[in-house]
Amino acid sequence: MGEFKHSIDAKGRLIIPAKFRDQLDGHFIVTRGLDGCLFGYPMAEWQQMEEKLKTLPLTKRDARAFVRFLYSAATECDIDKQGRINIPDTLCAHADLTKKCVVVGVSNRIEIWSEDRWQQFTSTTANDFDEIAEDLNIEF
C-alpha cells in the first residue's frame, strides 16, 4: 500500500521505496501494465500469474496478443545497494517515464506511473469513485 514520488534518472534508474524493498526480496519482474503504467511483481506473484496465463486459450487471438504484450517487455529487475532498479527504454516509453514518477502499492504488485498520468488517473477516478464502488457492489 502507499504512494511514493521519486524521479527517474537519465539512465533509467528509479528508487524503489524502502517500504516495498523487503517484500520484493531484492529482485522482481517489471512489465507493461494497464492504464499506461508498469506492473512490478514479486517473483512468487509473477509465478502465480504465469500459471493463470497458461490457462488462456491459445486459439483466442486476444489471449495470444495479451500474453505476447505482457511477456515481451517483462524484465527481471535487481534492486541495487542504493535501492534503485534500471527500467529498460521499452518500459519507460510504455509508461511515459521521463522524470517524475509515482510508485504505488496495489495488493500483490507495485505500479510505476509517470506523475502526470497518475495525476490524470486519480483526478478522473476521484470524480467517479462513488459510482465505481456502486457498480462493483463494494461493501465497506
The grid coordinates listed for 39 are: 506492473
Q: Where are the domains of the chain?
A: 2-136
Alpha-carbon distance of 132 to 80, in angstroms, equals 39
Q: Does domain 2-136 have CATH number 3.40.50.720?
A: no
The string of pLDDT tens digits covering residues 75-108 is 999 999 999 999 999 999 999 999 999 999 999 9
- Rounded Cα distance between 69 and 107, Å, is 22
Q: What is the pLDDT of residues 43-80, one digit of tens each?
A: 999 999 999 999 999 999 999 999 999 999 999 999 99
From residue 114, how far is each of 96, 119, 120 by CA, in Å? 6, 9, 10
pTM above 0.95, yes or no: no
Q: How confident is the model at residue 125 (pLDDT cuts 50, 70, 90)?
A: confident
pLDDT digits (tens, 9 = 90+) for 71-84: 999 999 999 999 99
Q: Residue for cell digits 511515459?
A: 96
pLDDT score recorded for residue 140 = 66
Burial of 33 (0-12, 13-18, 19+ CB in 10 A): buried
Please say if the pLDDT value at position 137 is more than 80: no
Q: What is the DSSP string of 30-60?
A: EEE-GGG-EEEEEHHHHHHHHHHHHTS-TT-
Cell of 18: 524502502
Cα 11 → chain centroid: 19
pLDDT at 138: 63
First to last CA, the chain: 17
